[in-house]
Chain A
Amino acid sequence: MSDHHSHEETRGIMSPYAARIRAIEALLLEKGVLTEPEVQDSISYMEARSPANGAKLVARAWVNPDFKALLLSDGKAAASELGMAPEHPAEFIVVENTPELHNLIVCTLCSCYPRAILGRPPDWYKSFEYRSRAVREPRAVMREFGFEPPEDVEVVVHDSTADVRYMVLPMRPPGTEDMKEEKLAGLVTRDSLVGVNVPRL
Chain B
Amino acid sequence: MTFEPGERVRVLPSEKPGHVRTPAYLKGKAGWIESLIGAFPNPEEVAYGLSGLPERPLYKVGFKQTDLWDDYRGPAEDYLYADIYEHWLEPERGTT
Contact = CB atoms under 8 A, between A and B. Distances in A.
Contact of B78 (A108, A140, A154): A154
Interface in B56-96: 58, 60, 65, 68-69, 72-75, 77-85
A114 to B, nearest CB: 14
B25 interface: yes
Contact of B84 (A91, A155, A161): A161
A135 B80 CA distance: 8
Q: Is the interface of A mostly helix, strand, loop or mixed?
A: mixed
B74 A155 contact: yes
A163 B73 contact: no
| Chain A interface bracket (under 10, 10 to 19, 20 to 34, 35 or more) | 20 to 34
Contacts of A164: 37, 58, 60, 83
Interface of B: 21-23, 25, 37-38, 40, 43, 58, 60, 65, 68-69, 72-75, 77-85
B74 A139 contact: yes
B12 to A, nearest CB: 14
B25 to A, nearest CB: 7
B80 A162 contact: no
B73 A156 contact: no
Which 4 A-B pairs have CB atoms at the shortest separation, nearest pair first?
A162-B83, A159-B82, A157-B80, A162-B21
B53 to A, nearest CB: 14
Given A160-B83, A163-B43, A136 B38 contact: no
B79 A136 contact: no
Contact of A162 (B58, B69, B72, B73): B58
Given A151-B75, A154-B75, A163 B23 contact: no
B19 to A, nearest CB: 9
Interface string A156-190: 11111111100000000000000000000000000
A162 B85 contact: yes
Contacts of B69: 136
Contacts of B74: 137-139, 155
A69 interface: no
A156 B31 CA distance: 14
Nearest to A132: B25
Contacts of A108: 23, 25
Given A135-B25, A154-B75, A161-B82, 20 more contacts: A108-B23, A139-B74, A140-B73, A152-B75, A154-B77, A154-B78, A155-B74, A155-B75, A157-B78, A157-B80, A157-B81, A158-B81, A159-B23, A159-B80, A159-B83, A163-B40, A163-B43, A163-B58, A163-B83, A164-B37
